[in-house]
Chain A
Amino acid sequence: MCSLEKRGNLFILILTGQNGEHRLNPNLFSSIISAISRAKAESTRGSALVTVSHGKFFCNGFDLDWVNAAGSDEETQKRFNLLLDYLKQLVLAFISLPMPTIAAVSGHATAGGVVVALCHDYVLMRRHRSVLYMIDLDLGIKIPEPFMALFRAKISGSARRDLLLRGLKIKGEEALKMGIVEAVYDGEEEVTNAGIKMADDLAKRTWHGDFYAEIRRGLYSELCDILGIASTPIATPKL
């Protein structure tokens, strides 16, 4: 499923389970959302969160086996819609988390897995053995609005078109060039360690989490409006 580790000021969210593919089903979703809630509850000035994974996959998208095991077309659709709802909740949880967030993508990320990565303020990636793949077009699945808003918020220009309309399996270097990720590293350990180091560096800025989240809300206002994340007028600045 996932586990949340606390290391000083850092929260380390580790994606596990489901044959190493870390596929998103109600269990993993609940687990992640609950971990984010805990991080939020325990956050202080100078907190930061980094999401890591081990093995071949960062997150291979929705658990389609679970969806298809529904037994009827209607139930299948219901299960799929449930996963969409969960994904929306996950995006909401990350985007309103009062601390900087980093995704250390050391394996493949597909569809919902790409969304999970992009929910973070910064994405680091492995140079090889890791692709970002919005498989939706190839599978004939539409991308609902909240997630389109996430792509519009986080990725610019032709990179956005290439990610969504070309069915590309985007490797580390390409993702770097496209501005989707901050940096690429060789090896799972290097990415993970870089993620932890970056989280540490950002934590040292000792930002006030509420203000950080509010500035993030202003930065991604269209997405936040769609997700229903309201602006929280904060009374007093810390001048």
Chain B
Amino acid sequence: MCTLEKRGNLFILTLTGEDQHRFNPDLISSLLDLLSQVKAQATCGSVLITQAQGKFFSYGFDLDWAQAAGSERGAAKRLQHMADLFKPVIATLLSLPMPTIAAITGHAVAAGFTLALSHDYLIMRKDRGILWMPEVDIAVTLPDYINALFKEKIGDASVRRDLFLRGLKMKGDEAEKRGVVKAAYDGEAEVREASVCLAENLGKRKWHGEVYAEIRKGLYPQLSAILGLSHKVYAIARL
């Protein structure tokens, strides 16, 4: 389902397997667990890369599991349950004491796109894979923390409108042009290489992780508030 690897200063979180990496309660729980481990082992100069195997980064919540509830109300409840379980994953990423990179080599859809967007940097494939919020098409509403994430991470109002109200399937080159991702590359290997390169450059700066996290929270105050992340006043004798 997902694995954690340590390579020098780099933490590499991988969604494994050739499937859609749908977030069901088990996978969400594993993700949270691994991210907690990352947090516990963080040092100056640590960086996280989140990546996935196969054609999908993640296709979002496990709708099959939701529908297996047997009724419309049951499905809605299960969806709500997954949205509630997923919130701490986003909170952990937002408060992770190190720079974070999402290496998107496949489709990132709904909660999958949300996971990617919760990272400081997004690197994507140009030739394959889309970013997509299909909620308008499947008639599902978005939890407040996802609305806040997109609002504070994506500055361009037209982009947010296109993603949410038009259900736009955004490819790599458009995502790069419109500022949704940092860069887009042709090919899976290129994306992974660029992510590692960026991670190494960021790691070299040996930033103080707690300070990094606090500054990050300050960039996204509404989201941080919704996620229940408090602001710490931090003073260190490093000047």
Check A179/B157 contact, CB under 8 A, given A236-B72, A239-B67.
yes
CB of B218 within 8 Å of the partner chain: no
Contact B144 A235 (CB under 8 A): no
Say if the beta carbon of B63 comes within 8 Å of chain A.
yes
B66: A residues at CB distance < 8 A? 239
Q: Is B189 interfacial (CB-CB < 8 Å)? A: no
B161 to chain A, nearest CB (A): 7
State the majority secondary structure of interface residues on A.
loop
- Residue A86 at the B interface, CB < 8 A? no
Determine if A215 and B155 form an interchain contact, defined as CB atoms under 8 angstroms apart. no
Residue-wise interface mask of B (140-174) relative to A, using a CB-CB cutoff of 8 A (1 in contact, 0 not): 11101001100100011110110011110000000
B80 to chain A, nearest CB (A): 10
B236 contacts the other chain (CB 8 A) = no
Produce 1/0 per residue, A196-239, CB < 8 A to B: 00000010010110011011101101000000000001111111
In the complex the two chains form, is A219's CB within 8 Å of B161's CB? yes
A153 within 8 A of B: yes
Residues in B with CB closer than 8 Å to A154 are: 157, 161
A77 within 8 A of B: no
| Residue B44, interface by CB 8 Å | no
Q: Which chain B residues border A218 with CB–CB below 8 Å?
A: 141-142, 144, 147, 164
A-B pairs with beta carbons under 8 A, tally: 83
Interfacial chain A residues near B135, Cβ < 8 Å: 211, 215
| Interface residues contributed by chain A, number (CB under 8 Å) | 28
Picked from B139, B151, B157, the residue with its CB within 8 Å of the CB of A208 is B139
Interface centre among B67, B135, B139 (most CB of A within 10 A): B139
Contact B158 A179 (CB under 8 A): yes
Q: By the criterion CB–CB under 8 Å, are A221 and B136 in contact? A: no
Partner of A216, one of B138, B155, B158, B165: B165
Main secondary structure of the interface of B (DSSP, over half): helix
Check A215–B142 contact: CB distance below 8 A: yes
Give the B interface residue count (CB, 8 A): 30
B147/A238 in contact, CB under 8 A: no
Assess whether B165 is in contact with A100, with CB atoms less than 8 Å apart: yes
CA distance in complex: A208, B136 (Å): 8
Chain A residues with CB under 8 Å of B72's CB are: 235-237
CB pair B147–A219 under 8 Å, yes or no, is yes
B157:A215 contact, CB within 8 angstroms: no
> If the complex has contacts A215-B135, A236-B75, are A155 and B142 also in contact, measured as CB distance less than 8 A?
no
Contact B75 A239 (CB under 8 A): yes
A156 on the interface (CB 8 Å rule)? Answer: yes
The contact sample of 8 A-B pairs, CB cut-off 8 A, is A156-B157, A211-B136, A215-B165, A218-B147, A219-B164, A236-B72, A237-B76, A239-B140
Q: A235-B73, A236-B75 are in contact. List 4 more A-B contacts (CB 8 A).
A: A156-B157, A205-B136, A215-B164, A219-B164
Using a CB–CB cutoff of 8 Å, the interface residues on chain A facing chain B are 100, 121, 153-157, 179, 182, 202, 205, 207-208, 211-212, 214-216, 218-219, 221, 233-239
Q: Which 8 A-B pairs have the closest CB atoms?
A: A238-B139, A236-B72, A218-B147, A211-B139, A237-B140, A208-B139, A214-B141, A156-B157
Measured CB to CB, the residues of B under 8 A from A are 63, 66-67, 72-73, 75-76, 79, 135-142, 144, 147-148, 151, 155-158, 160-161, 164-167
